[in-house]
């Protein structure tokens, strides 16, 4: 595995320095040597996870967006169901990628934290696995004397440290790494760590899939795959954990505990819309501030009551032509009618013009009309009937 160590050399160097610095700090406060090396692995996890917080936040946002667009993805799948020709498949992929782009999500976002910490995980595995060789001076055939600050003396100190009697570099399947520790002790400690590691992994995945997923996103192939992985991942860890050193199992258990606590805080305070976690958050808010809920409810009812008739269609009223004209002209036209009526009453009768010989009855008719006072204007609701007038009267 010398080529693997060459690839991981920069990361192994960082891991060695973090563990060495943490061990030195805990030694200054007079903590036991074995406990200080275990705590140095915990510090390594804390440093690594703090660096990964922005990546974790991005993963949460992308995962939430993926849950929200699941109905659109299902519609797209039903649209192209049964279409296996290359053109339809290409269009389906293009439309699906367009959905991902608009939602700002990525199907591979859930793998980013695992991919990001995988190099660190393997680097720690190689550091712990190589401690015995560094202590004996046989690491890389004696050509390399140390891994960062961990030289032969420090490596021997790490090999001598243990967890409940099991060395940090011991593995379940390799008796050569037990360093004289009883086989039962090494195997019992390994099994307990594997069980705890599997339980924390199951709990983390369960609270993510069962509590923080809306009901609309539970009826799709992606959710069924996550539900299968919920039970498969602990089994995979149990099978592969027997090949890892105890120090790596401590690292894995610590990072699972961190993930579980981090997920709990995020789900409790920022649940996915429509999920069970959101309903619980609303119930906690209602229980903590009932007066605010009552105020909101009263305000909502008072605002909703006048808005109720708005849903009904208002029937138009029947109006005459004169009413429509008066409403369009406004108060100005309404004020002119009384004034005209008053003017008609007060105006003196004008003398009629000389009648033409062809129409002798016109002057008498005009004189009679001038002597008669103008009647007041009718209400706007009534239509004025036209009167029969002669051509000469219309000219006047």
Over the stretch 246-291, which tens digit does the pLDDT of each residue have? 988 998 899 889 888 888 888 888 777 777 777 888 888 888 877 6
Tokens 């919920």 locate to: 230
pLDDT band at 324 (very low <50, low <70, confident <90, very high): confident
Q: Which secondary structure element, helix H or strand E, spans residue 33, and what is its range?
A: helix 33-51
Q: What is the pTM of this model?
A: 0.62
Lowest mean pLDDT among 103-112, 201-210, 221-230, 350-359: 350-359
DSSP structural state of residue 216: G
Q: What are phi and psi of 361, to 5 degrees?
A: -85, -10
Q: What would the mean pLDDT of 334-344 be, rounded to a whole number?
A: 45
pLDDT digits (tens, 9 = 90+) for 3-22: 777 888 888 899 899 999 99
pLDDT band at 192 (very low <50, low <70, confident <90, very high): very high
pLDDT band at 316 (very low <50, low <70, confident <90, very high): low
pLDDT band at 214 (very low <50, low <70, confident <90, very high): low
Q: Which of 328, 95, 69, 29 is nearest to 222 (CA)?
A: 69
Upper half-sphere CA count for residue 27 (Cβ side, 13 Å): 10
Would you say how long the chain is, in residues?
396
Instruction: Decide if pLDDT at 335 tops 60.
Output: no
Question: Residue 129 has what pLDDT?
Answer: 82
Instruction: Decide if pLDDT at 69 tops 70.
Output: yes
Which residues, listed in sequence order, are joined to residue 167 by a DSSP beta bridge? 162
Tokens 């009679």 locate to: 368
Upper half-sphere CA count for residue 328 (Cβ side, 13 Å): 7
The answer to whether the CB of 17 falls within 8 A of the CB of 30 is no
And the tokens for 215? 């009901």
The answer to whether the CB of 27 falls within 8 A of the CB of 39 is no
And the tokens for 302? 């008072």
DSSP structural state of residue 168: T
pLDDT band at 66 (very low <50, low <70, confident <90, very high): confident
What is the residue-averaged pLDDT of the chain? Answer: 74
| Secondary structure string (H, E, C) spanning 103-152 | HCCCCCHHHHHHHHHHHHHHHHHHHHHCHHHHHHCCCCCCCCCCECCECH
Cα separation, 232 vs 229, in Å, equals: 5
pLDDT band at 395 (very low <50, low <70, confident <90, very high): low
pLDDT digits (tens, 9 = 90+) for 143-160: 788 888 998 898 888 888
The larger pLDDT score, comparing residue 369 to residue 77, is at 77
Instruction: Decide if pLDDT at 367 tops 70.
Output: no
pLDDT band at 190 (very low <50, low <70, confident <90, very high): very high
């Amino acid at each position: 595995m010398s080529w693997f160590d060459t690839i991981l050399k920069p990361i192994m160097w960082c891991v060695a320095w973090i563990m060495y610095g943490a061990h030195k700090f805990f030694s200054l406060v007079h903590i036991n040597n074995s406990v200080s090396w275990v705590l140095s692995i915990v510090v390594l996890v804390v440093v690594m996870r703090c660096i990964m917080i922005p990546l974790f936040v991005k993963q949460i946002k992308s995962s939430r967006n993926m849950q929200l667009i699941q109905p659109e993805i299902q519609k797209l799948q039903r649209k192209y169901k049964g279409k296996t020709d290359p053109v339809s498949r290409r269009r389906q992929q293009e439309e699906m990628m367009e959905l991902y782009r608009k939602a700002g999500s990525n199907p591979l976002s859930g793998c980013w934290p695992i991919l990001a910490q995988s190099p660190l995980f393997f680097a720690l595995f190689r550091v712990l696995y190589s401690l015995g060789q560094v202590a004996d001076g046989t690491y890389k055939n004696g050509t390399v004397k140390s891994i960062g600050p961990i030289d032969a003396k420090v490596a021997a100190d790490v090999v001598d440290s243990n967890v409940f009697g099991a060395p940090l570099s011991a593995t379940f399947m390799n008796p050569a790494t037990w360093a004289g520790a009883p086989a039962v002790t090494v195997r019992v400690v390994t099994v307990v760590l594997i069980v705890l590691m599997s339980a924390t992994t199951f709990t983390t995945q369960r609270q993510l899939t069962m509590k923080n997923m809306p009901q609309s996103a539970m009826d799709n192939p992606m959710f069924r795959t996550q539900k299968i992985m919920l039970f498969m991942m602990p089994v995979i860890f149990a099978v592969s954990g027997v090949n890892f050193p105890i120090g790596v199992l401590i690292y894995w258990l610590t990072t699972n505990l961190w993930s579980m606590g981090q997920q709990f805080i995020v789900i409790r305070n920022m649940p996915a819309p429509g999920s069970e976690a959101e309903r619980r958050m609303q119930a906690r808010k209602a229980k903590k501030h009932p007066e605010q809920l009552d105020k909101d409810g009263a305000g909502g009812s008072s605002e909703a009551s006048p808005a109720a008739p708005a849903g009904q269609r208002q029937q138009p009223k029947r109006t005459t032509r004169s009413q429509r004209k008066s409403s369009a002209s406004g108060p100005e036209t309404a004020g002119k009618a009384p004034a005209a009526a008053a003017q008609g009453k007060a105006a003196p009768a004008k003398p009629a013009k000389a009648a033409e010989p062809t129409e002798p009855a016109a002057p008498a008719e005009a004189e009679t009309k001038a002597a008669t006072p103008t009647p007041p204007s009718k209400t706007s609701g009534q239509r004025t009937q036209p009167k029969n007038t002669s051509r000469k009267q219309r000219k006047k």
